[in-house]
A = this chain, B = another copy of it.
Amino acid sequence: MGSVNSIDPRTGAAVETVADETTEEQVRDACARAAAVAPRLSALAPAARADLLEAMAAGLDAERERLVPLADRESAMGVARLDGELTRTINQLRLFASVLRDGAYLEVIVDHATGASPDLRRMLIPLGPVAVFGASNFPFAFSAAGGDTASALAAGCPVIVKAHGAHPALDAAVTRILRAVAAEHGLEDAIDIVFGRAAARALVQDPIVQAVGFTGSESAGRMLMDLAAARPQPIPVYAEMGSLNPLVVSPAASENAEVGTTVAESVLLGAGQFCTKPGVVFVPAGDAGDRVVATIAERLEAAPSAFLLSAAIRDSFVAHADGVAGAPHATALVRPEAGEGSSVTPGLSEVDAVNLNDPALLTECFGPAALIVRYETAADLQAALRQTPASLTLSLFAEADEDTFVADLLLLAQDSVGRVIFGGVPTGVAVTWSQNHAGPYPASAGGMFTSVGATAVRRFQRPIAYQAVPDALLPPALREDNPLRVPRRVDGVLEVAAR
């Protein structure tokens, strides 16, 4: 097997060798260790698992001075952005700790025996070991210690991380920290890491692995989905694959001088490397719309070059932007240029809504670029939006008196996106109880579950029911006196226990 190198995208140089590629036998061993620790992780009381997550959060925070520069060296994202991302990652672990202490995530339902039916008690239990494939563009928040790992551990599932090729040294360092914390709780194998493509495939195919979390491209996500669906025992793949994230500027909003600047900043944020970047921006035809487009174009034209995550991403960005600019009905407004290392300048093209139906235009372009789509009427706009593949988000800049215009788009959103943003940009995904970061395929694997926010934990749980089982033998959450004080539905009535 080969070695796994850590590359500096600013220079393209291999800086260090992180590890040997993991052999298939080593993957099997890692899975066996995960299976061995699973019952103990599952049996931990929710509060004890919350302690574990909080200790992991503290463990990462304690190593901030070492982790942030390492992440910057592997991603060229800049220490300010990465410092914030690490904070977000730490807070995410803490959110799941609070989800555990709350207890509603167990979804306990108790039905006492009646003349017609037996005593029956239901709760959610962990699925089993989970494979996590992190993202290049969020080396902390969607990687080794990211949302998939945090929610899987919260559910009580051991995690095996597949190190990302763009930041293997960081993934290794983060996993080492989490393993050390877990070891202090006697649960060292609650998290582990493997390296290389062959290991990735073996991991998804291992019968011990019961679910996969993934953040990345549609092509890689679909490959994992297909691999998982073809197993003797198919397993779910929770793939978050990014999207075009349509952003609509209404006729009234196009009169607002600030909208163009706001949109341009969202396109440029993080060098456009967000899965929620607004990739298609719908602007009304006419003078006001022209001014919005001119503002966006000026802003992108003036932006300095920025490093993308890798030379491969830079090449694919430039090729994609050229493809859009060269599409039959499209016009290039700002042409991207490749600079030193993996750096590029932004790109912007324009097309009329009636000509949007071209696959070259309706594919995500990862990097600082967007497509302006000009619409004449609300009907043209809606038709164009219906042609746009399902997305994570739909953003609407509109005024309060445009009720019908907005209501029609909100209805359309119910078929096509996971989050609607009013008067704001889609970049920035708050980690909260209510967050939904998912969308119908191909934005995510199926849109049934979010990968960000408290309810992400449900992806790694399944229900089990106990019929007429003596109280002392029941899991604590199901016992009659509710020793864990979890919210429960009892005989059809939802009850919030006093804490």
Judge whether A400 and B446 touch: CB under 8 Å.
no
Judge whether A494 and B496 touch: CB under 8 Å.
yes
**Neighbour of A109 across the interface among B418, B434, B467, CB < 8 A:** B434
Smallest CB gap from A478: residue in B: B434
Judge whether B414 and A464 touch: CB under 8 Å.
yes
Which of chain B's residues have a CB closer than 8 A to the CB of A234? Answer: 225, 229, 441, 445-446
Is A183 part of the contact surface with B, judged by Cβ < 8 Å?
no
Which of chain B's residues have a CB closer than 8 A to the CB of A445? Answer: 234
Is A204 part of the contact surface with B, judged by Cβ < 8 Å?
no
Q: A120-B430, A225-B229 are in contact. Are A422 and B469 (CB under 8 A)?
A: yes
Is A442 part of the contact surface with B, judged by Cβ < 8 Å?
yes
Judge whether A436 and B422 touch: CB under 8 Å.
no
Please choose the segment from A111-119, A242-250, A280-288, A367-375 that sits at the chain B interface, where 4 or more of its residues have CB less than 8 A away.
Answer: A111-119
Q: A445-B234, A473-B403, A496-B494 are in contact. Are A436 and B465 (CB under 8 A)?
A: yes
Please choose the segment from A25-33, A265-273, A293-301, A448-456 that sits at the chain B interface, where 4 or more of its residues have CB less than 8 A away.
Answer: A448-456
Judge whether A415 and B128 touch: CB under 8 Å.
yes
Judge whether B464 and A419 touch: CB under 8 Å.
yes
Is A235 part of the contact surface with B, judged by Cβ < 8 Å?
yes
Judge whether A462 and B448 touch: CB under 8 Å.
yes
The number of chain A residues with a CB under 8 A from chain B is 79
Judge whether B473 and A406 touch: CB under 8 Å.
yes
Smallest CB gap from A409: residue in B: B473
Is A73 part of the contact surface with B, judged by Cβ < 8 Å?
no
Which of chain B's residues have a CB closer than 8 A to the CB of A225? Answer: 229, 234
Is A361 part of the contact surface with B, judged by Cβ < 8 Å?
no
Judge whether A438 and B417 touch: CB under 8 Å.
no
Interface centre among A116, A236, A435, A448 (most CB of B within 10 A): A448
B-contact bits for A385-403, CB 8 A (1 contact / 0 none) = 0000000000000001001
Judge whether B465 and A418 touch: CB under 8 Å.
yes
Is A302 part of the contact surface with B, judged by Cβ < 8 Å?
no
Judge whether A446 and B236 touch: CB under 8 Å.
yes
Smallest CB gap from A489: residue in B: B433
Which residues between 404 and 426 of chain A lie within 8 Å of chain B, taking CB atoms?
A: 406-407, 410-411, 413-415, 417-424
In the assembled complex, 22 residue pairs joining A and B whose CB atoms fall closer than 8 Å, in A order, are: A39-B411, A109-B454, A110-B434, A111-B434, A117-B430, A117-B432, A118-B424, A118-B430, A121-B434, A122-B455, A125-B414, A225-B229, A226-B229, A229-B229, A229-B234, A233-B440, A410-B473, A419-B464, A419-B467, A422-B467, A447-B463, A487-B494
Which of A's residues lie within 8 Å of B, judged by CB? 39, 42, 98, 102, 104, 107, 109-111, 116-118, 120-122, 125, 127-128, 225-226, 229-230, 233-236, 400, 403, 406-407, 410-411, 413-415, 417-424, 430, 432-436, 438, 440-442, 445-450, 453-455, 462-470, 472-473, 487, 489, 492, 494-496
Starting from the known contacts A102-B492, A229-B230, 7 additional A-B residue pairs (CB-CB under 8 Å) come to: A109-B455, A127-B448, A229-B229, A236-B446, A422-B467, A422-B470, A434-B489
